[in-house]
Amino acid sequence: MGKLQLWFLVIAGISGALAQEDLYRKVFVFRNDPNEAYVVVKPEPEWPLQNFTVCLRSYTDLTRPYGLFSYATKAQYSEILLLKPKPGEYRLYVGGAYVTFRVPENRMEWEHVCASWESATGIVEFWVNGKPLPRKGLQKGYSIGAEAVIILGQEQDSFGGGFDFYNSFMGEMTDVYMWEHGLSPGKMRAAYQSLTLPPCALGWRNLLYEIKGDVVVKPRLRD
């Protein structure tokens, strides 16, 4: 077991238990609005990241801001943050800075997003439901810290906490993945279509996680 795995087992909490399972065709249901609930997932990287891809699928009727994926270190709470500030808009943060992507709003439909970033060029790719948006630049030359806490459903304003509950997620979330590299266009589309994917640092089919608060695992009802 590496240093980061040991670090995670310490911060994951004495009060709860980690679960690991294949969550195929299952979802996390965040049941209340607003809420104090979140899911901690085990990070894998043991060294600073120069590239990453994060993908997930969400289903909600919220119109206020909410955090989906928050990767925080002690040095920077918004190392990686996927936030939806309002309908039709996403923000991707890297190292505390962000770019905004405007997207078609699909009310009462599942929305699949993939965000990738590479340090060498600063290029950010953002894909919505299998289609790429115009690429943007962010934090060229930056390095993302490794000793991280990854939380689903909240935005961390301190290391592992500091939540604003009015930025909490309510709804359903599934198909959460993270890679330590960019994905090809074909693999971005495969992620949207739930096809075979390359090995990843964090994956829905073998997710190690801990639920905090009012979140339940349920079968997925619709595509």
Instruction: With beta carbons less than 8 A apart as the criterion, state whether 27 and 39 touch.
Output: no
What parts of the chain have a pLDDT lower than 50? 1-15
Sequence ranges of the domains in the chain:
3-219
Residue 46, SS3?
A: coil
Alpha helices in the chain, H assignment, sequence order: 3-11, 185-192
What confidence score (pLDDT) does residue 43 get? 74
**CATH architecture of the region 3-219:** Sandwich (2.60)
Q: What pLDDT is attached to residue 3?
A: 38
- The identity of residue 108, as a single letter, is M
Residue with structure tokens 């294949």?
22
pTM above 0.95, yes or no: no
Return the pLDDT at 44: 63
Both tokens assigned to 147: 């000793």
The confidence score (pLDDT) of residue 10 equals: 38
pLDDT of residue 91: 98
Dist CA 4 CA 2 (whole Å): 6
